[in-house]
């Protein structure tokens, strides 16, 4: 008698009865929903851009204006995600580990970028960091300009990405027992050693998830950026805005090509982040 193949074993495992009924219905609905809402639009985009071919996509990507916009978009999104990673951890730590007056109010403020329209956020940030704004005027006195430059893009992306890191790290911090930190201190570890060896390992998957979410949100952000960036070609123009410009010029092939290039780069970046996240979970035992 021959041993069952891998496909056969997997099929039996996949169709094994479950205590919870309705697997077939819910699984079918999940596939249908993801297909219609996510996969079908992305497949349509790839199909529309397939007429350009790899050479056409390469030609679009290497256009000076497109290359500058892509570089600005992904670089600023990455830097903003790094800043959010650091300060999001600090904010989550303060909200979780300390009791102080107004803690719940500050905790609610973290979610404001979620609820606030991006255009409102962009106008507010532009008013604050303009040369005559509350923050922009003192900075202008020392010859530092934020609004209508790349730094304005960074500020906007930090603003809209911070809640993703805080909300992914905060539940994990709440579950970590304070006794672990006390035991580490009792055994003679310094505060830095406690953070690096006791706290960061279980937080690594959540930190990577928050980083990925902040980075992905930054890449696709439009409303809050266009008001503060200045939208100067080759300097502070982002790729989503360039797609709109191409559409207004009836250059549908160019707009589709830029969108496909952004999709490919974002997919590779998120794939790498997810692989690192999976490795960190296995490495530190948090599967």
Check whether 172 has a pLDDT greater than 50. yes
For the chain, give the secondary structure using H, E and C: CCCCCHHHHHHHHHCCCCCCCCHHHHHHHHHHHHHHHHHHHHHHHHHHHHCCHHHHHHHHHCCHHHHHHHHHHHHHHHHHHHHHHHHHHHHHHHHHHCCCCCHHHHHHHCCHHHHCCHHHHHHHHHHHHCCCCCCHHHHHHCCCCCCCCHHHHHHHHHHHHHHHHHHHHHHHHHHCCHHHHHHHHHCCCCHHHHHHHHHHHHHHHHHHHHHHHHHHHHHHCCHHHHHHHCCCCCCCCCHHHHHHHHHHCCCHHHHHHHHHHHHHHHHHHHHHHHHHHHHHHHHHCCC
User: Where is average pLDDT lowest: 32-36, 127-131, 241-245, 277-281?
Assistant: 277-281
| pLDDT band at residue 287 using 50, 70 and 90 as cut-offs | very low
Check whether 8 has a pLDDT greater than 80. no
Which of residues 127 and 287 earns the better pLDDT score?
Answer: 127
Question: What percentage of residues in the chain have a pLDDT greater than 70?
Answer: 90
Check whether 71 has a pLDDT greater than 90. yes
Over residues 97-122, the pLDDT tens digits come to 888 888 889 988 998 888 888 888 88
Round to whole Å and give the CA distance between 148 and 126.
Answer: 8
pLDDT at 16: 58
| pLDDT band at residue 163 using 50, 70 and 90 as cut-offs | very high
Which of residues 230 and 24 earns the better pLDDT score?
Answer: 230
pLDDT at 1: 46
> What's the whole-model pTM score?
0.83
Q: Which long-range contacts (CB under 8 A, 24 or more apart) does 36-44 make?
A: 42/263
pLDDT at 18: 62
């Amino acid at each position: 008698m021959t041993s069952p193949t891998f496909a056969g074993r997997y099929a039996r495992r996949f169709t094994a009865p479950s205590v919870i009924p309705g697997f077939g219905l819910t699984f079918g609905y999940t596939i249908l929903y993801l297909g219609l809402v996510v996969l079908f639009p992305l497949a349509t985009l790839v199909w529309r851009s397939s007429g350009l071919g790899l050479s056409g996509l390469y030609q679009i990507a290497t256009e000076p204006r497109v290359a500058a916009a892509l570089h600005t978009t992904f670089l600023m999104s990455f830097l903003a995600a790094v800043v959010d990673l650091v300060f999001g951890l600090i904010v989550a730590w303060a909200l979780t580990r300390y009791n102080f007056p107004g803690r719940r109010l500050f905790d609610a403020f973290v979610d404001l970028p979620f609820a606030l329209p991006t255009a409102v956020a962009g106008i507010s940030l532009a008013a604050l960091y303009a040369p005559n704004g509350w923050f922009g005027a003192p900075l202008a006195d020392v010859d530092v300009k934020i609004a209508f430059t790349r730094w304005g893009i960074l500020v906007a992306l930090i603003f809209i990405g911070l809640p993703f890191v805080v909300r992914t790290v905060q539940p994990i911090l709440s579950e970590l027992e304070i006794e672990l930190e006390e035991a580490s201190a009792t055994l003679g570890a310094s505060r830095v050693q406690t953070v690096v060896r006791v706290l960061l390992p279980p937080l690594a998957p959540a930190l990577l998830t928050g980083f990925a979410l902040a980075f992905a949100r930054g890449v696709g952000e439009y409303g809050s950026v266009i008001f503060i960036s200045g939208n100067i070609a080759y300097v502070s123009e982002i790729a989503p805005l360039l797609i709109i410009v191409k559409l207004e010029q009836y250059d549908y092939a160019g707009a589709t090509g830029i969108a496909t290039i952004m999709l490919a780069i974002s997919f590779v970046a998120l794939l790498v982040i997810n692989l690192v996240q999976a490795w960190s979970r296995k490495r530190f035992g948090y599967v």
